[in-house]
């Protein structure tokens, strides 16, 4: 495959610089794609660009994400409109008496709902924001608590979508006959996930202070404005239920319980889980006559439409990833750091390199399908500790999921919480970097010991 050397970094740099200057995500990603397409062949920009876009939209993973996120939007909009979310908020409010309790409860819910990070990010943020608003918590801090609990917990519990995916990859690369067994062996070495998850309660309790942009956001929230300017609640905003009825808590708990149980039953498939939860919600609405037929499906459609912006960001991110693949970005970076890969340094080098690539490409699962056939044979040839190397790889994936402002977890946590992906990414970044620095130190220490 042809590579463009160090020049392959240019599209990603364009995206980062433009995003910081404009605070607009989709436009920055498309600008990076355009620059990359001009680098590949200026005479083929339209043809190649349209082909890549069709390829992205025809990708099974992208289609799956669009369906999951859109149907999640419909489910949350229905739970809001019927008063399910409101009833949950009211029930929690009577039990929570302080700002700290509201944040710790958000964190605990994130630990409990470990099946899938999408489920975690959207459900918890949508159901907790009324409570955190009441105690003057910024939507950015809510998004941070949700996002930095979701991916680490999903990684550290071997009954999640992450575990199923990575265990399959390990088997596909012939590293082991039992991918799940090696995955479980690697859990103690997933340093970034452990550190990131441990930092969250410290921030929630106020033991780790607000840093940089988070300090500004929290000052604004304490001044009476928890939602940032331009915060995009859309159809996910809280409204009273129709007809002045007192909402029942069962209208929230039953759909969420069915969502979790169905996801588990269908081999950790969140798409089937959300379809079952929607069906349960529609039955509840019909039985209790909470809304008319027209209003029910108009609300569901509004919820789906509310996810258009985050879905646009994700599609643009996947498109940039395809352009970067043509430019050979992943191979260029791996070739550059390969001389540094000694047995002792390997875990730390793998973590730092893959973390930067995950951040640059916005690809947290796809990237590792490309990287594993290169990194794992290298680890075997050096007789390196395989669970440690796998732990470093998966830690890098978690870092990318947190740090990248157009990554799926970041975008969905921001959407559910009611702030822009850029606002969420910038306020979260200092804590992500602290966790990454500590994780790098851990990998160096264990690698040499």
Let me know if residue 338 belongs to a domain: no
Q: Could you tell me if residue 112 is inside a domain?
A: yes
- The CA–CA distances, whole Å, from 176 to 37, 167, 286 equal 39, 9, 50
The answer to whether position 49 is within a domain reads: no
Domain of residue 284 covers: 61-160+194-308
Asked, for residue 342, whether it belongs to a domain, the answer is no
- 298, 8 in Cβ contact below 8 A? no
Please tell me the predicted confidence (pLDDT) of residue 192: 93
pLDDT confidence of residue 440: 93
Q: Is residue 180 part of a domain?
A: no
Q: 9-50 pLDDT, tens per residue?
A: 888 888 878 876 776 777 888 898 999 999 988 888 999 989
Is 15 domain-assigned?
A: no
Is the residue at 173 inside a domain?
A: no
Total length of the chain: 449
pLDDT given at position 436: 93
| E runs forming strands in 89-196 | none
**Domain count along the chain:** 1
Q: What is the pLDDT of residue 359?
A: 79
Contact (CB, 8 A) for 359 and 12 = no
CA distances to 60, 127, 307, 358, 407 from 312, rounded to whole Å, are 16, 24, 8, 19, 12
- What local confidence, expressed as pLDDT, does residue 247 receive? 64
Low-confidence ranges of the chain (pLDDT < 50): 233-244
Residue 153: CA count within 13 A, CB half-sphere: 25
Give pLDDT, residue 160: 65
User: Is residue 434 assigned to a domain?
Assistant: no
């Amino acid at each position: 495959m042809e590579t463009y050397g160090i020049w392959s970094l240019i599209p990603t740099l364009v995206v980062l610089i433009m995003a910081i200057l404009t605070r607009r995500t989709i436009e920055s990603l498309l600008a990076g794609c355009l620059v990359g397409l001009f680098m590949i062949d200026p005479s083929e920009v339209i043809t190649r660009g349209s082909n890549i876009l069709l390829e992205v939209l025809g990708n099974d993973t992208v289609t799956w994400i669009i369906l999951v996120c859109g149907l999640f939007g419909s489910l949350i909009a229905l739970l809001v409109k019927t008063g399910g979310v409101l009833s949950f908020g009211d029930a929690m409010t009577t039990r929570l008496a302080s700002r700290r309790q509201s944040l710790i409860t958000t964190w605990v819910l994130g630990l409990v709902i470990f099946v899938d990070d999408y489920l975690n990010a959207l459900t918890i943020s949508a159901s907790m924001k009324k409570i955190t608003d009441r105690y003057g918590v910024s939507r950015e801090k809510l998004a941070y608590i949700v996002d930095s609990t979701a991916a680490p917990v999903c990684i550290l519990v071997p009954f999640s979508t992450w575990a199923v995916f990575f265990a399959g990859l390990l088997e596909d690369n012939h590293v082991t006959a039992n991918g799940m067994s090696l995955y479980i062996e690697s859990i103690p070495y997933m340093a970034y996930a452990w550190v990131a998850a441990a930092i969250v309660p410290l921030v929630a309790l106020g033991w780790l202070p607000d840093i940089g942009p988070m300090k500004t956001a929290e000052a604004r929230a304490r001044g009476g404005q928890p939602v940032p300017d331009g915060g995009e609640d859309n159809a996910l905003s809280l409204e009273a239920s129709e007809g002045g009825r007192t909402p029942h808590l069962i209208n929230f708990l039953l759909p969420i319980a069915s969502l979790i149980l169905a996801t588990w039953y269908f081999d950790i498939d969140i798409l089937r889980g959300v379809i079952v939860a929607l069906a349960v919600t529609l039955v509840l609405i019909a039985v209790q006559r909470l809304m008319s037929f027209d209003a029910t499906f108009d609300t569901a459609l509004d919820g789906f439409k509310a996810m258009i912006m985050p879905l646009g960001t994700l599609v643009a991110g996947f498109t940039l990833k395809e352009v970067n693949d043509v430019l050979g970005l992943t191979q260029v970076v791996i070739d550059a750091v390969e001389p540094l890969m000694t047995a002792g340094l390997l875990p730390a080098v793998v973590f730092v390199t893959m973390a930067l690539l995950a951040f640059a490409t916005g690809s947290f699962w796809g990237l590792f399908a490309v990287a594993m056939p290169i990194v794992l044979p290298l680890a075997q040839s050096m007789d390196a500790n395989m669970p440690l190397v796998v732990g470093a790889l998966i830690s890098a994936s978690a870092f990318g999921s947190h740090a990248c402002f157009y990554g799926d977890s970041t975008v969905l946590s921001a959407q559910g919480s009611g702030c822009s992906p850029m606002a969420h990414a910038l306020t979260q970044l200092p804590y992500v970097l602290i966790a990454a620095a500590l994780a790098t130190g851990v990998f160096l220490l264990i690698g040499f010991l």
